[in-house]
Structure 1
Amino acid sequence: MKTIAKNRKARHEYHIEETYEAGIVLQGTEVKSIRAGKVNLKDSFALVRDEEAFLHNMHIAPYKEGNRYNHEPERKRKLLLHKHQIKSLIGKTKQQGYTLIPLKLYFKHDLVKVELALAEGKNLHDKREDIKRKTAQREIQRALKDRQRY
């Protein structure tokens, strides 16, 4: 698997409950832009409507040599999931505070896949606790590293 793009803020902003692997329907120039790494997952999210899942706000830059056949950069793109996965996601996203966000975009056997996460938004105090925990862990690792040198 070759990772193309990651949504780095997702784990900071949300509690990740479950993850799903989904295919994505793309146009030819979109695949070429993705191979060049011109994709951004920052503000993207997924919605389930009429038993179909769609990815919104994922920015794929227009392909340089695409001329008039180029794609729209932020169009909604259909996600390919099994029917039982979509039905379970419909029930889970109806709950208050849960949303579907993409964590990463990657190639798997020359196909573009999206790792989706069922996530719940974090409160401000949760984010602060995570930062404190990471800082403490970093200091412990640094102390152990210094101890091993001597």
Structure 2
Amino acid sequence: MVDQEFSCRRCGRRHEGLPFSYGAEAPAYWRDDLASDEGSVLEDETCVIQAQHYFVRARLVIPVLDAEDDFDWGVWVSLSRDSFRRTLDLWTTPGREQEPAYFGWLSTELPVYPVGTLNLKTEVHSGPVGTRPHVVLEPTDHPLAVEQRSGITMKRVQEIAELLLHPRG
């Protein structure tokens, strides 16, 4: 991961480290009161809500055109029950990256986009054992999908950091 200082245009200060990765702790649909629900569980890599909705944590990678490293959103994606079960069945199986992609819905709201990111159509690709799946968005004109296809610049990485460090209410 690349970390470098940057002068913040929102607060005027220098910040140590320009993060190239941000992540959500839970799917957007998770609520704290679900922790006491028998059919709900939030773990580091998986989540089930009321024994009806199934999620995996994944990476949505965006190329950074003027840097050596990619930008990485840590997101949650909903899967069908069958796809979720298959993902769990293959969790520790070498070669699981050969599995066909699963259809999923993006289940993380990324606040740096002018339109919502919830429920964008995705393909979820398994990676080698020990790595998170990665997400490929349906090729639409949504700004996140465009960035994933076309890449972003270091200026945009800094803009994302500024927006997340200093959100305006």
Confirm or deny a common fold (TM above 0.5): no
Higher relative contact order (CA closer than 8 Å, sequence separation 6+):
1
TM-score category (smaller protein) = under 0.3
- TM-score, normalising length: structure 1: 0.26
Greater Cα radius of gyration, structure 1 or 2: 1
Question: Between Structure 1 and Structure 2, which shows a larger proportion of helix residues?
Answer: 1
- TM-score, normalising length: structure 2: 0.24
Question: Between Structure 1 and Structure 2, which shows a larger proportion of strand residues?
Answer: 1
